[in-house]
């Protein structure tokens, strides 16, 4: 029997939505914006829904939770009740205000209510939790219980913005400075669920929108991964060379439709992915995008002789 380890990358606009197939077991990781719910529903209709073993909602940004909230709110009859939902609910802290729509505590609240009312299992996912699905192991790297308890109630208001057509100029001769984040002012991303899925000798790292400062506390030594979903849609603030030096990999996923308002993926992140692949001794770097138009906008300059960068558009990756 051939082992299957396939990651489907849904068109989640500015967000994340992945369907991970490990032989006869399936996992949903985030649901993108609300419009993505129809793709998740269609997948359950076209495949045996009993194969769905767990759903992970990494955090309550609208472009991660929206599709999951709609899936359970409108299409719950297609979702098996035996599949637990892992989500660190923001009700853990006193929410006094929510004046913008990007951090959707309302979606988190409504999702929890629907799950509870309809007999679904809601579980927390914090650092150190290891889930055994009989041949598939999921290890939760973040958030720690400290960050989970500090979910912040303020967030910079923004929308999807216009999708950019500008070229992303990647200069491999220009090493960007390391990001310098303030965790306390970015607690929503700092508290997002990052996890690994291991199956049939292969390991995938999903970084959600986590901060490198947080992940450095969990990945303490050089660790080999077969694929890494890069944090926060390729933002320069969420990927550091220090972290990449501990992540032995040259195969990366970036999920974004590339809106002008965010500028994702940032050239600085792409430079770091390329340079880290070189440092780890690889002869090439593979970066896969779920939108072809983003892939086509990237221009690589000053690449070291003999090294190759493969910019790939695909809807799925097989490990």
Q: Return the pLDDT at 21.
A: 98
pLDDT of 98-109, one tens digit each?
333 444 556 677
Q: What pLDDT band is residue 228 in, cutting at 50, 70 and 90?
A: very high
DSSP the chain: ----EEEEE---TTS--EEEEETTEEEEE---SGGGHHHHHHHHHHS-GGGEEEEE----BHHHHHHHHHHHHH-GGGS-TTS-EE---GGGS------SSSB-HHHHHHHHHHHHHTT--EE---TT-EEE-SSEEEEEEE--HHHHTT--S--------PBP---EEEETTSPPPPP---GGG-HHHHTS-EEEEEETTEEEEE-TT--HHHHTTT--S-EE-SEEE-GGGG-TTS--HHHHTTEE-SEEEE----BTTTTPSPHHHHHHHHHHHHHTT-SEEEEEES-HHHHHTEEEESPPTT-EEEEEE-SEEE-
- Mean pLDDT, residues 18-45: 96
Q: Can you name the residues that pair with 204 across neighbouring β-strands?
A: 197, 227
pLDDT in tens, 229-260: 999 999 999 999 999 999 999 999 999 999 88
Work out the pLDDT band at 97, boundaries 50, 70, 90.
very low
Confidence of residue 151 (pLDDT cuts 50, 70, 90): very low
**Cβ 222 vs Cβ 245: under 8 Å:** yes
Residue 154 has pLDDT above 70, yes or no: no
CATH architecture for segment(s) 5-318: 4-Layer Sandwich (3.60)
Task: Report the chain's mean pLDDT, rounded to a whole number.
Answer: 88
pLDDT, tens only, 102-135: 445 566 777 888 888 889 988 889 899 999 999 9
Map out the domains of the chain as residue ranges: 5-318
Cα 18 to chain centroid distance, Å, stands at: 8
pLDDT reported for residue 152: 35
Task: Report whether pLDDT(63) > 60.
Answer: yes
- As a whole number of angstroms, the distance between CA 62 and CA 32 comes to 7
pLDDT class of 191 with cuts at 50, 70, 90: confident
Sheet order of strands, 5-9 included? 122-123, 85-86, 52-56, 25-29, 18-22, 5-9, 316-318
Question: 254-308: per-residue pLDDT in tens?
Answer: 999 998 888 899 999 999 999 999 999 999 999 999 999 999 999 999 999 999 9
Has residue 185 got a pLDDT over 80? Answer: no
């Amino acid at each position: 029997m051939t082992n299957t380890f396939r990651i489907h990358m849904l068109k989640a606009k500015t967000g994340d939505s992945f369907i991970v197939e490990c032989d006869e077991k399936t996992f949903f990781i985030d649901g993108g914006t609300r419009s993505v719910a129809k793709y998740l529903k269609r997948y359950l209709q076209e495949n045996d829904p009993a194969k769905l073993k767990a759903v992970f909602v990494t955090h309550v940004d609208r472009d991660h939770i929206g599709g999951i909230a709609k899936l359970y709110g409108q299409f719950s009859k297609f979702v098996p009740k035996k599949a637990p939902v892992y989500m660190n609910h923001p009700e853990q802290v006193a929410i006094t205000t929510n004046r913008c729509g990007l951090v959707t505590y309302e979606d988190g609240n409504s999702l929890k209510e629907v799950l509870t009312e309809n007999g679904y299992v809601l579980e927390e996912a914090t650092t150190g939790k290891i889930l055994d699905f009989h041949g598939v192991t999921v290890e939760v790297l973040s958030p720690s219980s400290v960050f989970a308890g500090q979910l912040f109630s303020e967030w910079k208001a923004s929308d999807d913005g216009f999708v950019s057509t500008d070229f992303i100029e990647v200069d491999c001769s220009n090493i960007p400075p390391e990001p310098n984040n303030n965790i306390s002012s970015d607690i929503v991303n700092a508290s997002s669920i990052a996890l690994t899925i291991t199956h049939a000798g292969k390991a995938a790292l999903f970084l959600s929108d986590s901060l490198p400062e947080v992940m450095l506390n969990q990945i303490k030594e050089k660790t080999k991964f077969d694929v890494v979903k890069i944090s926060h849609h390729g933002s320069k603030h969420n990927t550091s060379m220090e972290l990449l030096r501990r992540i032995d990999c040259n195969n990366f996923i970036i999920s974004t439709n590339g809106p002008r308002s965010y500028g994702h993926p940032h050239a600085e992140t792409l430079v770091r992915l390329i340079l880290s692949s070189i440092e780890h001794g690889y002869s090439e770097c593979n970066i896969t995008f779920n939108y072809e138009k983003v892939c086509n906008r990237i221009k690589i300059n000053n690449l070291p002789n003999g090294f190759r960068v493969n910019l790939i558009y695909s809807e799925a990756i097989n490990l």
